[in-house]
């Protein structure tokens, strides 16, 4: 397999692996966690929330874009008319 040359991707690869190790370590000590709301105690709540939030953000914004996106010279053209 060809090794990726992209620095940002490599960085996030390390970030991803490192983060997973951190999560794994913490899972062993999950009785140490103290939260304020009951929903935060759901296992993997933050992972699910982050994933869903990010997906909704991108997809929702793209829907919003259908309404709001215009050509780059939108205002200039308007003025000329």
Partner 1 sequence: MIEWIHPGIVILLGAFLLPLLRNRKAKQAYFVLLPIAGLTILILTSMGVFGIIPPYPDALHKWCIPFLQYTLELGRIDKLSIIFAYVYVVIGLAMNIFALRGKKDWEHVSALIHIGSSVSAIFAGDLFTYIFFVEIAVWSAVFLIWFRGTKTSLGSGFRYFFWHVLAGAFFLGGSIIHVQTTGSIDLALMPWGWGWDYIGYYLMMLGLLIDAGSFPVHAWLPDAYSTGAVTGVLYVTAYSTKTGIYGLIRCFPGVELLMWLGVITAVFALYMAVLENDARRLCGYHIISQDGYMIAGAGIGTYLGLNGSVSHIICHIIYSCVLLMGASTVLSVTGTCKFSETGGLYKYFRISFWLYLIGGFSISGVPLFNGFVSKSMTIEAAELIHQPLAYLMLEGATVGTFLHTAIKLPWNLWFQGRKEPPADIKIKLKEKRENTPINMLIGMSIPAFLCVFIGVYPYYPFYDMLPWPVSPFVPYTTTRVFSMVQMFIFTFLAAWFLRTLIRGTPTYTLDSDWLGRIPGNALVSFCEKPLIAFGSFLDRNILKVTYFIISCVRSPIPEMRMTPRAIGLGALAVLALFSLFLIVYI
What is the binding site for partner 1 (CB under 8 A)?
A: 5-8, 11-12, 15-16, 19-20, 22-23, 26, 29, 32-37, 39-40, 44-55, 57-62, 64-65, 68-76, 78
The C-alpha atoms of residue 29 and residue 24 are separated, in whole angstroms, by 9
Distance of CA 67 to the CA centre of its chain: 23
- Minimum CB distance to partner 1 smaller for 1 or for 8: 8
Residue position matching structure tokens 């690869």: 13
Half-sphere exposure of 70 (CA within 13 A, CB side): 8
Least distance CB 41 / partner 1 (angstroms): 11
Compare residues 1 and 76 and give the one whose CB is closer to partner 1.
76
């Amino acid at each position: 397999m060809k090794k990726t040359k992209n620095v940002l991707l490599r960085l996030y690869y390390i970030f991803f692996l490192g983060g997973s190790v951190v999560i794994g370590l913490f899972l062993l000590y999950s009785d140490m966690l103290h939260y304020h709301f009951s929903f935060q105690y759901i296992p993997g709540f933050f992972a699910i929330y982050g994933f869903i939030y990010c997906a909704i953000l991108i997809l929702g914004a793209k829907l919003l874009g259908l309404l709001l996106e215009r050509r780059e010279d939108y205002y200039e053209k308007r003025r000329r008319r």
